[in-house]
Amino acid sequence: MICVEGNARGQLASILREQQIIGDVELITRYDGLPLTAEEIVARVEG
């Protein structure tokens, strides 16, 4: 599973792991507060 988050800490993925909803997850985060574009997400997934 890939979790795309607009924060540096991956809070949603942490909550999902704590609740045992998901196991291993790859995080795609952005640290500068700007939104992720579809192109950036595709590049990171394919990268």
Nearest to 30 by CA among 14, 46, 1, 10: 10
What percent of the chain is helix, strand and coil (3-state, nearest 5)? 35, 15, 45
pLDDT of residue 7: 81
User: Can you give the pTM of this predicted structure?
Assistant: 0.70
Per DSSP (E only), the strands in 1-47 are: 2-5, 26-29
In this prediction, residue 44 carries a pLDDT of 93
Tokens linked to 31: 């640290």
Element (H, E) at 40: helix 38-46
User: pLDDT tens-digit profile of 8-26?
Assistant: 788 888 888 888 888 888 8
